[in-house]
Every structure is written in structure tokens, then in C-alpha cells.
Structure 1
């Protein structure tokens, strides 16, 4: 159990690089759209290498065929679950420190409930109580960071991340419903390729490309610098590939619901690592008492959530 927890915390450290490096690119003057879109271009490159290395040309051809057969679905699920999600997170990085975005992002576990409700799922009352604890913590962190309740900073830094926290589980749930459910409004994609999480991430990454193209055409940002290109590659490598691999490995090694819940709970460590990374690389000041209490509430709610949701 201890080994799994340590692996989960290690994956949280790599996941937190997203928030720290995005803030670093903002400080250096990089446009948020390149921070978002270039990550997924690199993700496609890295994931293609993984798929080719693990399954060869045959697996890669099968994944591309699956995308071509249902391209509209992958554009919707990938555009929402990856495109809209990460565009909003990177946009918010222009207004809030990385650790605040990391803390707000933990609201995704609450947003996941609403995504599931859309497809007819229900939950015990205690889950909503745990969700309320997380929400209160998120509000406390954002209010404390908003410099005297600066409405603009709240709207630009906090609200986009909360919306993103709904986009991510919704996009992923669409894929689950298409491959496992019986929803008449979605295509039935019963493919063995979807049993491999890397194939699934690659398909959704490909589906997000049209959204990135549209945003680049309409926003027309200045060309990215070499450092921004390199930093987005690091985010794709650290968060998109290494962190995901470690986290999925730890979950797959879990032998019971308690161990699985423990691994899931370690992802709250992203907040701490994002704060430490900001302090180390960006000289982020220590937060005051209110945001610290908010972080404690978020972590407490997450631990309660995964502990009792898995029982």
C-alpha cells in the first residue's frame, strides 16, 4: 500500500508541472493559446511513439481507422474533454498563480458527479456533502487570492477553471458511454483498441485539433518563442505521458477498493507541489491563513470522497 501511495504522490508531482510551467510561460510573455495547443501537438507525437512501440504499425493503423470511422464523435469528445478544458486552464493562468489553479482544479471530482448525472447515474447523499466541502475550499482559495475580492480576477482566474473542471469529465464520460453504454444519441464504439488508455488519449487528442485550429485562426496570437515551444513539450512529457503512466500503473496494481481510493486521493498532492514549484521557480509568496485553510478543506473533502465512494 505504501508503495502505491508513493507512486501516486510521484504522479501528482509530475501532474503539477502543468500549473507551474504554464505560469512560467505567462511570466515570460507567451500567449496562453500556444501553451494550450502546442501541448496537444506534442502529446500526439509522444503518444504515437508509445502506440507504435507497444503495438506496432497494426495498432497505430487501427487507432487511426477508429478515428476516421467516428471523426465527428472524436471531435466533440476531444474538443470538450481536452480542447475546451485545457484552453480554459491556460487562459486562467494569465490571471492566477499555478497553485490557485491547481487547487481550483480539484473541483473536477465534484464536476464529475454532474457529468455522470447527465447519463442517469445517482449518488448517496454523503457524496454531495463531501463535494460541498471541496467547493467551500475552492471558494476560499480564490477569494483570498482575488486581492480584496477583485471581481475581474475572480471571473478570469477562477470561473474558467471551474468550467474546465466540467469539460474534462464530460468529454471522458462521452467516450465511456460510447464504448460501454447504450446511449442511443451516441455511436456505439465497441473496439478493443479503447481498452488501452494511451489509444484513448491519442484519439481524443486528435479530436481536439480542429478546435485548436479554429482558435488560432480567430485569435491569431503572435508566434510562440523557442522557450515556449520547449516548455509545452515538457508539459506534454511530464504531465501528459510520465504522470499518466505512473498514475495508471499505480491504479492497476491496486488489489482492493481501499488501495484504489488511496491512489486516487494522492492526486490532491498536486496543490502542494504546484505551490512548492511556484515558490522555488517563480518566487511565489507563501499564502495566507485563508487559502491554506481552503487547501486543507479541499484535500480533506477529496480524501473523504474517494475513501467512501469506493466502499
Structure 2
């Protein structure tokens, strides 16, 4: 369990770059659609090269075969878990500071038990209590933010993140269910390569391609600047490849619903990393007392998850 939490914490460190860089691009006038689409455009070749470097050409062939056997599953899981999720995160960056987005994003920890219940898994009562503490922290942060931000813009940002917070665990849990026997219309996937994190990240990225093409066609954003392209490449490497692979690897180690919920709860650390990074790099103001209390409550919820298991 401790190793699983450590992997989740490392993933949170790299995930935090998403909120900081997306906010920086938004402040510079970059369109949120390009921030989303370019991330996965960069991720695909990086993941392919990584797969070849670590597993050889056979690993790529095996991954493509896995996709070819269940293309509808991977397209649906990729569109939800990567597409809807990241479109919501980048849209939110246009309206709210990165640390607020990161804190609101912790709603995914509340959504995780709901997703598990929806797919027939039960989280122990203690886990639900810890999750509620984290969610209470989110409410405090957003209450304080609403007093200092434009109401409409803040609501748009919060709504976008909340949608993303449900989509991400849903897409990830679909992969977990498929790897652990399948259920209903979720196929059973017998492939040990899916436990590494690298392979499911690659397959979900491929599966999300139709979503990004449709989004680009529907919005027709102006061309991205050179700075946005560079920053998006960094997001693709740090958050899209490194963080996602670490996170999926951590989830693959979970043996039950409680450990899955605890792994998802490690994302609360993103708030701390994001607040420090945005304050130091973007000169963002520190949160007030309510905001700090909310952040502390969210992090304490994660600590309780770990302490209960130990």
C-alpha cells in the first residue's frame, strides 16, 4: 500500500504541471482547445518511442493488436477518460487560477467512490468519510474564490472541472475492470502488458483521437503560438506521459476498492504542488484563511486514507 501511495504522490507532482502551464498559456492568450489537443498530439509519438525503447517493436505490435481486438472499448474509454477529462481541465484554466482548478479537481476523489459503486464496487465507510473531508476542503476553497472572482467565470471554471473530475476516474476504472475480468459490456482483457501503465496510456491516447478531431472541427480555434506549442509539449511529457503512466501503474497495484479510492486520493497533493509552483512562477497571490483551511482539509483526508491502512 505504501508503495502504491508513493507512486500516486509522484504522479501528483508531475500532474500539477498541467494546472500551472495551462494557466500560463491562458494568461498569454492561448486557446484552450489547442492546449488540450496538442498535449495528446505530442503524447502519441513520445509513447510510441518509449514503448519501442523499453519493449521493442513487438511491444508496439502487441499494443496495436490489443486496440484492434476492442476498438470501440478503447475509443470510448479514451474519449471519456482522456478527452472529456482534459477538455474540461483546459477550459477551466481560461476562467480560474491554477491552484483553484487543482483544488476543485479533487472532486475526482469524491467521484471515484461513485464510479466504483456505479460499476458494482463498494468502498468501505471509512473511505467515504475521508473522501467527504476532502470534498469539504474543496467547498471552502471555492467559497473563498467566489468572493474575489467574477461569478460567471468562476462558475464556468468550476463546472468544467467537475465534469472532468467524473470523466477521469470513469475512463480509468473501465480499464481496471477490463483488466480484472470485465463486466457487462466491458470486455475482459488478458494482457500482462496492461499492468505497466505505459500500454494503457498509449491505447487510451489512440482511442481519444476521434474526440480531439471532432472538437477541433467544432470549435475551429485560431492557430496556436510557438510558446503554446512548446508549453503543451512540456505538459505532454510531464503530465501526459510520466504522471499518467505512474498513476495507472499505481492503480494496477490496487487489490480492492479501498486501495483504488486511496490511490485516487493521492491527487489531493496536486493542490500543494500547484499552489507552490503558481505562486513562485506566475506570481499568483496566496489563498486566504478559508482557502488554506480547505487545502489542509483536503490533504488531511489523504493522510487519513494512508493511516487507516497502516
Structure 2 partner of 1:241: 241
Give SS of 1:12's match. Answer: helix
Residue 195 (str. 1) matches residue 195 (str. 2):
yes
Q: Does 1:93 find its partner at 2:93?
A: yes
SS at match of 1:153: helix
Do the aligned residues in 2 keep the contact of 1:265 with 1:303 (CA within 8 Å)? no
Mapped contact 2:197–2:247 kept (Cα < 8 A): no
**CA distances 1:272-305 after superposition (whole Å, capped 9, x unpaired):** 2211211122110111111111101111112223
The two structures have a TM-score, normalised by structure 1, of 0.88
The 5-angstrom pairing of residues 41-60 of structure 1 reads 41-60=41-60
Distance 2:202 2:4 in 1: 26
Paired residue secondary structure (1:123): coil
Gaps spanning 5+ residues in structure 2: where?
A: none
Aligned residue pairs, count: 306
Take 1:65 and 1:8, find their aligned partners in 2: how far apart are those partners? Answer: 29
Task: Measure the CA separation in 2 of the matches of 1:47 and 1:65.
Answer: 16
122-131 or 17-26, larger mean C-alpha shift: 122-131
Pairwise CA distance, 1:260: 11
Deviation per CA, 1:179-214, whole angstroms, max 9, x where unpaired?
223413222222233232100000001111100000
- Cα RMSD (Å): 2.9
**Residue 125 of structure 1: how far off its partner (Å):** 2.1
1:152 aligned residue: 152
Q: Which residue of 2 aligns with 1:273?
A: 273
Q: What CA distance in whole angstroms lies between the structure 2 residues aligned with 1:8 and 1:173?
A: 15
Shift in Å, 1:12: 3.3
Tell me what 2:73 maps to.
Answer: 73
Name the counterpart of 1:205. Answer: 205
Instruction: State the match for 2:30 in structure 1.
Output: 30
Matches within 5 A, 1:218-257: 218-244=218-244
Classify 1:266/1:65 alpha carbon distance in 2 versus 1 (closer, same or farther; 3 Å).
closer
Answer whether contact 1:262 1:307 (CA < 8 A) is retained. Answer: no
Indicate the residue corresponding to 1:121 in structure 2.
121
Structure 1 window deviating more from structure 2 (90-99 vs 193-202): it is 193-202
Partner SS state of residue 287, structure 1: coil
Most deviating of 20-29 and 138-147: 138-147
TM-score, normalized by length of structure 2?
Answer: 0.89
Does residue 112 (structure 1) correspond to residue 126 (structure 2)? The answer is no
Change (3 A) 1:129 1:119: same
User: Which consecutive unaligned segments of at least 5 residues does structure 1 have?
Assistant: none
